[in-house]
Amino acid sequence: MSGSEEEVDLPRFFKVFLSESASESMAIPMSFTEHLQDPLPQTAKLQGIGGGVWTVSFKKIRDCAYFTSGWSKFAEDHELKDGEFLTFVYDGSHTFEVSVFGRSGCKEMRAVVETVNLSDANSDEEEDGEEDSSVAADSDEEEEEGDDDPSFDAGEDDEVSQGLCAVDSDDTVSNAEVVAGFSSMEVESNPYFTTTLKNRIYELLIPANVVREHRLTFCDRIKYIDGEGIMYGAKGKWSDDRICFKGWDRICRRNRLKEFDTVHCEMLHIRKKVHSIKITITRGR
């Protein structure tokens, strides 16, 4: 099957930035309203191509939707200037991926988030006293067992801790600024499941009962969205036809997932085709 058949064409719009009218708020085109949830969620996420995430208030004023509180911070951090061109790609839920084009017409990388090399994490291990032993001990072994082979046999415990759950408004992640808008979001319309740290960390297994109940299909590549930004995972399939996604180990490592942590996975979809998985973590003991 070709990539074009698998990819979901996400709704999008563009705006020309004018400081006189868009320094404190940004109006969304009226013609785009049909793609938005009704009622609007109280907040939205703006994902910059530099890796940062900004939480903004989402309001409807005289039948027009606006980004309000928080938009000025986004504009300031991206150093937006009059006449610059912005594109917004909507995930169908609460997140817009925003690209900035300068007056030259070229896409520009702005507000880049500084990344931390995982190899520098040893100092943090000494503070914690107990770093993620499962991740550290199994990483080399898993690579040798054939990380790229999606046809392995699944063990009995690979899905035992995954299941449907209701959204917990008290879920927290380490980045307080990112999580600020999560608690008030209306996410009941999206399927959810939970998982924990597995011995095999290279794939995220999608519970078969969730797929059947919601009649879901999946893109060949999905976005993992956590408090640090976006990563991508390629689709695989187990020998019993269950769906999994690669690259999950990067999420486990970046979030320093521990044995008793619970990961809540919200599947964002367009017409039942999942394109992104939004992740929040409840820390265990």
pLDDT tens by residue, 53-93 = 899 999 988 888 999 999 999 999 999 999 999 999 998 88
pLDDT above 50 for 207:
yes
pLDDT above 60 for 34:
yes
pLDDT at 189: 66
pLDDT at 114: 63
pLDDT at 92: 84
Contact 141, 147 (CB under 8 A): no
- Closest of 114, 208, 226, 214 to residue 163, by C-alpha: 208
Whether residue 39 has a cis bond before it, omega within 30° of 0: yes
Euclidean distance between CA atoms 129 and 131, whole angstroms: 6
Contact 190, 269 (CB under 8 A): yes
Which of left, alpha, beta for 100 (phi over 0: left; psi -120 to 50: alpha)?
beta
Contact 263, 254 (CB under 8 A): no
% of the chain residues with pLDDT over 70: 71
| Burial category of 250 from C-beta neighbours within 10 Å (exposed 0-12, middle 13-18, buried 19 and up) | middle
Euclidean distance between CA atoms 210 and 41, whole angstroms: 24
Reported as a pLDDT band with limits 50, 70 and 90, residue 170 is: very low
pLDDT above 60 for 146:
no
Reported as a pLDDT band with limits 50, 70 and 90, residue 161 is: very low
Mean pLDDT of all residues in 247-253: 90
pLDDT at 20: 87
Reported as a pLDDT band with limits 50, 70 and 90, residue 242 is: confident
β-pair partners for 230: 225
Reported as a pLDDT band with limits 50, 70 and 90, residue 237 is: confident
Q: Could you say which DSSP state residue 163 is in? A: B
Euclidean distance between CA atoms 130 and 126, whole angstroms: 8
Euclidean distance between CA atoms 204 and 85, whole angstroms: 37
Contact 202, 255 (CB under 8 A): no
Higher-pLDDT residue of 199, 1: 199
- Extended strands (E) in the chain: 12-16, 26-27, 43-48, 53-61, 64-67, 85-90, 95-101, 107-108, 192-195, 203-205, 217-226, 229-237, 243-246, 262-270, 273-282
3-state secondary structure of 119: helix
Q: What digits encode the pLDDT tens for the residues 97-130?
A: 999 999 888 989 888 876 544 444 444 444 444 4
Euclidean distance between CA atoms 226 and 51, whole angstroms: 11
Range with the lowest mean pLDDT among 120-129, 240-249, 256-265?
Answer: 120-129
Mean pLDDT of all residues in 139-150: 43
pLDDT at 231: 86
pTM of the model: 0.45
Structure tokens at 263: 């990961």
Contact 262, 281 (CB under 8 A): yes
Q: Could you say which DSSP state residue 40 is in? A: P
Please, what is the average pLDDT of the chain?
Answer: 75
